Amino acid sequence: MASTETETRQSYLVFACGSSWYAVPAECAAEVVSFPELTRVPGAPGHLLGVFAHRGEVIPVVDMGVLVSGESEPTRRAVLVRLSRGTLALTASRVAGVSQVDGRLEPLGANGVHLHLRGPARSAQRDVAVIDPDGLFDHLSQGS
Amino acid sequence: MSTGGRIAGMLLCQAGTERVAFAAHEVATIESPSTFGGDAGSARQAYDSGPAGAERILVAATGEAVGVDTLEIDAESLVVFPAPLLLGRIAGGSLRGFVQARGALWPLMSLVDFGRFLAPSSREAA
């Protein structure tokens, strides 16, 4: 059975952007930050709000609302997701904390960003979309 | 793509309300729209920031050009942050990194590549 179809009992950082809840593997979630005024990047797609400098690194901020549903969710908080290829910040209007997620990890869509969101899954009685961080990074790299 | 470090000699520009920087050594001439004879895109276009007019046109030795609203020449040595890998394809791959100046980050663009990205002919083709 492919790893994307197995049930999960891992630990995840669970957060919301607007009315949608997401879970990112806890080992990738570096910290939750309040980001300063952003520097916009010329030619960037709408879901890329801008960048800020944090601990000597320039970090791109992705509006999860625009990325997933096309609707912006104003917030100055973000979850920093650290991968070997770099760090990205995913906007978060609420952070529930680290918890286990129960469910399956099948892609929630056949293409686009939904290919890198997995489920159906639940955490603390909430429906959550589990983020595949590397897949999301690839998607964002190609889309920009 | 920049690997970080420092750079001396920058043009710090405004495009509408946004910031954009170029390495001074890339700029062969600075012209006004009335004297410039070639095709130049405006940096504003890349921000969807209002009409594409420009007060100054930065021209590379190879002819690529970018219009900006204002510019300042900064001779100081500035810190350069490498561009995140995620942004490698931004603006046709013309983002070289970010410079820290005047208390803010400025996207450092390749004038040649950004000029090609903004060129009216290439935007029409797209």
Query: CATH number of the domain that A109 lies in?
Result: 2.40.50.180
How many angstroms separate the CA atoms of A33 and A54, rounded? 10
Q: Which of B42, B89, B105 to mutate to test the interface with A (most CBs of A within 10 A)?
A: B105
| Contact state of B92 with A43 under an 8 Å Cβ cutoff | yes
Closest CA to B86 of A34, A49, A17, A2: A49
Indicate the pLDDT class of residue B48, thresholds 50, 70 and 90.
Answer: confident
Question: Cα distance from A36 to chain B (closest Cα, Å)?
Answer: 11
Q: Which residue(s) pair with B18 in the sheet? A: B15
Which residue of chain B comes nearest to A42, CA vs CA? B46
DSSP code string of B47-102 = GT-S----SEEEE-TTS-EEEESEEEEEEEEEEEEEPPGGGTTGGGGTEEEEEEET
How many angstroms separate the CA atoms of B121 and B126, rounded? 9
Minimum-distance CB partner of B104 among A39, A141, A144: A39
The DSSP bridge pattern shows strands B41-42 and B65-68 to be parallel
Q: Give the pLDDT of residue B125.
A: 56
- pLDDT tens digits, A90-133: 999 999 999 999 988 899 998 899 999 998 898 888 999 999 99
**B116 vs A38, A98, B25, B62, CA distance in Å?**
26, 46, 18, 11
Global pTM reads 0.91
Query: Where are chain B's structural domains?
Result: 5-125
DSSP code string of B15-49 = ETTEEEEEEGGG--EEE-TTT--S--EEGGGGGT-
| Domain encompassing residue A25 | 3-143
Q: Assess whether pLDDT exceeds 50 at residue B1.
A: no
Q: Taking the alpha carbons of B73, B75, B77, B83 in that order, is the dihedral positive or negative?
A: positive
- pLDDT tens digits, B53-83: 678 999 999 999 999 999 999 999 999 999 9
Q: Give the pLDDT of residue B50.
A: 66
Question: Considering its fold, how many domains does chain A have in total?
Answer: 1
- pLDDT tens digits, A72-96: 989 999 999 999 999 999 999 999 9
